[in-house]
Amino acid sequence: MNYNWHWKVLLETEPGGTGSYLHYLLVGLGWTLATALAAWVIALAIGALVGTLRTTPMKWVVRAGNLYVEIFRNVPLIVQMFLWFFVVPELLPKGLGDWIKQMPPPWGSYVPAVLCLAIFTSVRVAEQVRAGINSLPRGQRMAGTAMGLTETQTYRHVVLPQAFRIILPPLTSEFMNVIKNSSVALTIGLLELTGRARAMQEFSFRVFEAFTAATVIYLLTNLVVVLAMRALERKVRVPGLIAAGSAPQAGH
């Protein structure tokens, strides 16, 4: 293959004049992380709530939870991105919709991207939370009731503390998925890491340098997340349980 590598391009100034291309990509990483973290916090909150509600004996609540999960699991992420970006502002009251559409960049794409990723990820968190709760022996819940705890107290003091410690490893991989999925936000104009690698390729015509740099940055980010989460996992592991054997699951 005759491709002339030209790595020095990373140190050349990007057309916007904000600094070198490398700096330009690292700012992109900043946006990737800012998007992923914000979405992750919201996703954890909604996912924990929906996942827990789906294990309760309340029939209608379970059904509503199932509906929520099925809707957001069966529509592709990029289509959901377009719904949040193009469709939602049109369906809101005119004043609010116009205000959203006139948000200055990058907030005009950042906010829909965060909301979209948050909801999309919350569904997957909800599934993990439900699986975690259901993996606990039934005796735990019965023991709680037998001791005179109410339903809520059983969840609060017996079920949830164990469930969350069990599902930490699958949640780690969900967190990495949010980081990766945030790249879809480039389709609504958010210049995160992949978007900036693409832009760099268009400005400088250095295709493979741009994508290699982005790939390396993603790999390093992954490494940091994995190491940090492993340390956390060691800390919160439930003593006596073998590392929660996760069943093989489809994913992306």
Partner 1 sequence: MDSGFDFDVIQRSWVYLFREGMSFTLTLTALAMAGGIVFGTLLAMMRLSSIKPVSMVAGAYVNLMRSIPLVLVIFWFFFLVPYIGAWVIGAREPIKVGAFWSAAITFTMFEAAYYCEIMRAGIQSIPRGQVWSGYALGLDYWQTMARIVLPQAFRNMLPVLLTQTIILFQDTSLVYVISATDFLGAAAKVANRDYRLVEMYSFVAVVYFVVSYGLSALVRRLQERIAIIK
**Binds partner 1 (CB under 8 A): choice among 42, 92, 136, 176:** 176
x/- mask, partner 1, residues 88-107, rule CB under 8 A, reads --xx----------------
Per-residue binding string, partner 1, 34-73, x by CB under 8 A, is ------------------------------------xx-x
d(CA 116, CA 137): 35
DSSP 8-state secondary structure symbol assigned to residue 87? I
128 binds partner 1 (CB under 8 A): no
Among 25, 184, 191, 199, binds partner 1 (CB under 8 A): 184
Q: Provide, rounded to whole angstroms, the least separation between the CB of residue 78 and partner 1.
A: 5
**Which CB sits closer to partner 1, 77 or 136?**
77
C-beta closer to partner 1: residue 74 or 102:
74
Q: Which of 69, 241, 238 is nearest to 164 (CA)?
A: 238
Instruction: State the minimum distance, in angstroms, from the CB of residue 33 to partner 1.
Output: 13
- The Cα 12–Cα 23 span in angstroms is 10
Please give the radius of gyration of the chain, using alpha carbons only, rounded to the nearest integer.
Answer: 22
List the one residue out of 182, 174, 165 whose CA is nearest residue 126.
174
Nearest to 108 by CA among 88, 122, 94, 93: 88
Residue 143 near residue 152, CB atoms below 8 Å: no
Dist. CA 61–CA 58, nearest whole Å: 6
Please state the closest distance from residue 202 (CB atom) to partner 1, in A: 11
Helix (H) or strand (E) holding 231: helix 207-236
Of the pair 9, 159, the CB lying nearest partner 1 is at 9
Spatial neighbors of 193 by CB under 8 A, at least 6 apart, are 25, 28, 29, 31, 32, 183, 214, 217, 218
| Candidates 10-18, 20-28, 153-161, 191-199; binding stretch for partner 1 (CB under 8 A) | 191-199
Q: Least separation, in Å, of the C-beta of 207 and partner 1?
A: 5
Note whether 183 binds partner 1 by CB under 8 A: yes
Enumerate binding residues for partner 1 (CB under 8 A).
1-3, 70-71, 73-80, 82-83, 86-87, 90-91, 176, 180-184, 186-187, 194, 197-198, 201, 207-208, 211, 214-215, 218-219, 222, 248-252
